[in-house]
Structure 1
Amino acid sequence: MRLQGKQIGFALPEGHFSLPAVLEEIRKLVAAGAEIYPLFLATSDNPETDEQYLETKKLLEEITGRELVATTLADEAAGDSQAPFDLLVVAPCPGNFLAKLVNARTTSVSLSKPVKHLQSGRPVVLALVANGDSENLLQNVQQILSLKSIFLVPFGPALHGGKQIYLSRLDLLVETVVHAIEEKQLEPVFIESCWLPS
């Protein structure tokens, strides 16, 4: 398969670290022959590492066969000693991190391992999750789509707790990765109604 032997960094942001649907997609990538390097993307220097975090960490390491590496949004040293991955996935990708990626891409400021990878020109796949009222969200999405090296898992609006949010179709993540390796965007990007696999 087209993913056989590909080295893929898979960053899971703090606060969305233990989502079962994401772990299932990682299993699919491994089954497709990809070499997955799990990353925990912390939003602070002292992230919460509760029992669920430890359980998920153990599960990730069992699935991928590699130790989980922690990095932060402000980690200047992250990735300096390692060649870029063939592709990097951020899933789920919160709206605020999407904004940071847009700003970092345009200002060339190194913020983290994902941003360093992005600046190397290699493909990055983002699985968006954000509040429907996130400021400048759709504007940021438009800017992201104009960049050659960033690819989005198809997403759309959904209702959660009576509020509108935007969710990626995580069941399309592997297909999006296959397209991104070939520098193609899976279409359509925007789906009128969306669901998140459980």
Structure 2
Amino acid sequence: MKLAYALCGSFCTHKKALDVLEVLSKHHDITPVFSEITAVTDTRFGTASELQEKVEYICKNKIVSTIKGAEEVITGGEFDAVIVSPCTGNTLAKIAGGITDSTVTMCVKAQLRNRRPVIIALATNDGLSANLFNIAMTLEKKNIFFTPFGQDNAFDKPSSLVCDFNLVQDTLEFALEGTQLQPLLL
């Protein structure tokens, strides 16, 4: 199976997203995609260059990190699915609103144009506040499937929602059949 795996800037969840990527890469041809922020930002979780090196090693493919590159690579319709993992609230808002001004949103747009599945592995601190509307809007879109999610720290960060990264592969399998993995809310 041919997949695109897009990483957005929820840096604290990159380790979990990379664990999923490693499992998927053993069985699938994966093209990695970085958001503009992910491609250049050094954080307490590591440097951008370390992350790039690790992802390219896992996938054995070069990272797509420009809108032009995303359009060229995804538009051909060869991808069975696009996985956005992690998907930040900012990226989700753009997907919900049809805004295509980044590498990741171009991947999503191109995949949806090809009528193929997009899997959202959400990680956002404002999922139960500013981004709740965008979750609802995106849930209604055809060919978009969410990895089941819930509050990751209800008392200290009551609006924060993070998916169960262990369910990304199951979400992919269901999405390929046109079905949302349930239960969606954990």
Would you say same fold, with TM above 0.5?
yes
Scaled by the length of structure 1, what TM-score is found? 0.78
CA distance in 2, matches of 1:15, 1:127: 11
Residue aligning to 2:81: 87
Q: Which has the higher strand share?
A: 1
The aligned residue for residue 78 of structure 1 is 70
SS of corresponding position for 1:141:
helix
C-alpha root-mean-square deviation of aligned residues, in Å?
2.5
CA contact (8 A) 2:10 2:86 kept: no
Aligned-pair identity (%): 27
Q: Residues 63 and 176 (structure 1 numbering): CA distance in 2 closer, same or farther, change over 3 Å?
A: same
Q: 1:158 aligns with which of 152, 157, 160?
A: 152
Q: Residue 181 of structure 2 corresponds to which residue in structure 1?
A: 186
Q: Which has the higher helix share?
A: 2
Contact 2:6 2:34 in 1 (8 A): yes
Asked if the contact 1:110/1:116 (under 8 Å) is kept, the reply is no
For 2:161 and 2:33, the matched residues in 1 are separated by 23
Q: Which residue of 1 aligns with 2:125?
A: 131
Q: CA 1:55–1:127 in structure 2 vs 1: closer, same or farther (change >3 Å)?
A: same
- The answer as to whether partners of 2:83 and 2:118 remain within 8 angstroms in 1 is yes
The offset of 1:7, in angstroms, is 0.7
Task: State the Cα deviation string for residues 124-177 of structure 1 (Å, max 9, x = none).
Answer: 000111124664422222222222200000001121792221010001111111
**Quick one: distance in 1 between partners of 2:57 and 2:174?**
27
* Long gaps (5+) in structure 2: none
Structure 2 letter corresponding to 1:47: V
Q: Which residue of 2 aligns with 1:21?
A: 16
The C-alpha deviation readout for 1:81-117, integer Å capped at 9, x for no partner, is 551321001111111211110110xxxx644222222
Give, as a single letter, the amino acid of the residue that structure 1 aligns with 2:145. F
Distance in structure 1 (CA, Å) of the matches to 2:129 and 2:95: 15
Residue number in structure 1 paired with 2:31: 37
Report what 1:194 is aligned to. none
- CA–CA distance in structure 1, aligned partners of residues 154 and 55 of structure 2: 27
Instruction: Figure out how many residues of one structure are paired with residues of the other and give that number.
Output: 177
Corresponding residue for 1:63?
Answer: 58
TM (norm. structure 2) is: 0.83
